[in-house]
Amino acid sequence: MNADPDREARFGAWLGAHRGILVKITRSFARSAADTADLEQEMMLQLWTSLPSFSGQAKDSTWIYRVCLNTALMWHRGGERRGRRIEFGADFSGVASSGRSPADDAAKDDLLEKLYAAIRAIPEFDRALILLALDGLSYREIAEVTGLSENHVGVALTRARAKLAERLEGVRNELE
Amino acid sequence: MNWNEWEFVWKRQDLPVGEGADVAKLMATFEAAHRRMARVLLVRDLTEASAGVLVSGVFAFTGWHMGRAGWPIAIAVALCLGVTGVFLRERVKARRARTGPGAALLEKVEADLAELRHQRSLLANVAWWYLAPLFLACMIVMATVTARTPHGSLQRAPLFEAGMILFFLALYVGVWVINRRAVTKQLDPRLAELDKLRREILSP
């Protein structure tokens, strides 16, 4: 298989513009550092594999959500895949600086960690819905990613939000 | 805190931006991994197919060497080739039915469930489509060859014949037990998990 420049350009553009999606999904589904690396690698591999079947009909971000959420949902079920880690030569550690004070960052990080912990505690499909909703996807876009009808998405999302709110109840009390 | 406030916290998180990765190097790694995987699959398919063809060849040669008296071995050859054919057909079918990684979540879960159910039914029925024809083929070859050996030879000794039958039976029962174990220890738990996920997705 020869390197295809278009494929390489698109893959680079996807990673450049949407890497945040991978990070958020990984943080919501993986529970340890080893799992995080494993899942992120698997998502990138699946994204790369999906490139030839991407026809451009869906938005880039919708496609990436589909591929990455499919990977995350199936990931720990495919036991045979584990331990197939590929050694990457590339470095992905660059994180943009926010320019906020450390105290502000610490408080924000604490809340964010609590939010992630609550997300990790709810059922997997609810987790996927919450991620999509928090990222601001419309019901129509969530329906495209999940394959459900918009009405179904509305109902399922209400239920998922209620479960998340239950998990975050303690945090609310802590803050008050 | 309400939903909007959590949404605000969510949107303020620091995330990696910009390319920051050596895409060419990453893709070269993926392509190498992909090639390796394709090679592994090809070798596996070829091994399975050629093992069947090889055994059929050995049986056919034995039958041909025996002349007219070896005609029952043709049935054994047909049985072996039939099993190989089923193997290959299943591989091709599974590869064609596989859903791409960009399918909608529900579609992907349903396709994976269907594939897993099919695999389960193949393994659960391995005795009928795989073990029984091969056992029968072995018995046919053994009986045909034994019938041509002179009276009083070792192959004609009832104990030897019973031993051979027991050996093949033990071998095939062992394979059947391994397959049953794969069904109950691996496929059934995965099926239950996927089914639970599907119910989770579809629950109103």
| Claim to verify: residue A142 and residue A170 sit in the same structural domain | yes
- Is A92 part of any domain? no
Per-residue pLDDT at A1 exceeds 50: no
pLDDT 10s digits, A22-36: 999 999 999 888 888
Kindly report the CATH number assigned to the domain that includes residue A22. Answer: 1.10.1740.10
| Claim to verify: residue A46 and residue A126 sit in the same structural domain | no
| 3-state secondary structure labels for all residues of chain B | CCHHHHHHHHHCCCCCCCCCCCHHHHHHHHHHHHHHHHHHHHHHHHHHHHHHHHHHHHHHHHHHHHHHHHCHHHHHHHHHHHHHHHHHHHHHHHHHHCCCCCCCHHHHHHHHHHHHHHHHHHHHCHHHHHHHHHHHHHHHHHHHHHHHCCCCCHHHCHHHHHHHHHHHHHHHHHHHHHHHHHHHHHHHHHHHHHHHHHHHHHCC
| Claim to verify: residue A137 and residue A60 sit in the same structural domain | no
Which one of A85, A120, A151 terminates a domain? A85
Task: Output the six-digit token pair for B56.
Answer: 């059929």
Interface confidence, given as ipTM, is 0.77
Contact of A33 with chain B, judged by CB distance below 8 Å, is answered with no
In Å, how far is B122's CA from the nearest CA of chain A?
A: 19
Contact of A117 with chain B, judged by CB distance below 8 Å, is answered with no
For the stretch B35-44, contacts whose Cβ atoms lie closer than 8 Å and that sit 24 or more positions apart, written own/partner, are B35/A1
| Claim to verify: residue A78 and residue A108 sit in the same structural domain | no
| Claim to verify: residue A119 and residue A173 sit in the same structural domain | yes
In Å, how far is A39's CA from the nearest CA of chain B?
A: 14
The CA distance from B180 to B125, in Å, is 9
CA of residue A154 relative to chain centroid, distance: 20
As a whole number, mean pLDDT of residues A102-106 equals 56
Per-residue pLDDT at B186 exceeds 70: yes
Of the given ranges (A2-11, A100-109, A160-169, B153-162), which has the lowest mean pLDDT?
A100-109
Which one of A57, A85, A113 terminates a domain? A85
- Is A91 part of any domain? no
In Å, how far is A32's CA from the nearest CA of chain B?
A: 19
Note whether A108 and B12 are within 8 A (CB).
yes
Which one of A60, A85, A110 terminates a domain? A85
Question: Which residue range forms the structural domain that includes residue A130?
Answer: 100-176
Domain ranges of chain B: 24-202
| Claim to verify: residue A15 and residue A80 sit in the same structural domain | yes
Interface mutation target, options A77, A113, A144, A159, chain B, most CBs of B under 10 Å: A77
Which residue of chain B has the CA closest to A131?
A: B10
pLDDT 10s digits, B135-151: 999 999 999 988 888 88
Note whether B139 and B165 are within 8 A (CB).
yes
Number of domains making up chain A:
2
| Claim to verify: residue A79 and residue A147 sit in the same structural domain | no
Going by pLDDT thresholds of 50, 70 and 90, the confidence category of residue A175 is low
Of the given ranges (A46-55, A87-96, B8-17, B40-49), which has the lowest mean pLDDT?
A87-96
Contact of A157 with chain B, judged by CB distance below 8 Å, is answered with no
Interface mutation target, options A2, A4, A15, chain B, most CBs of B under 10 Å: A15
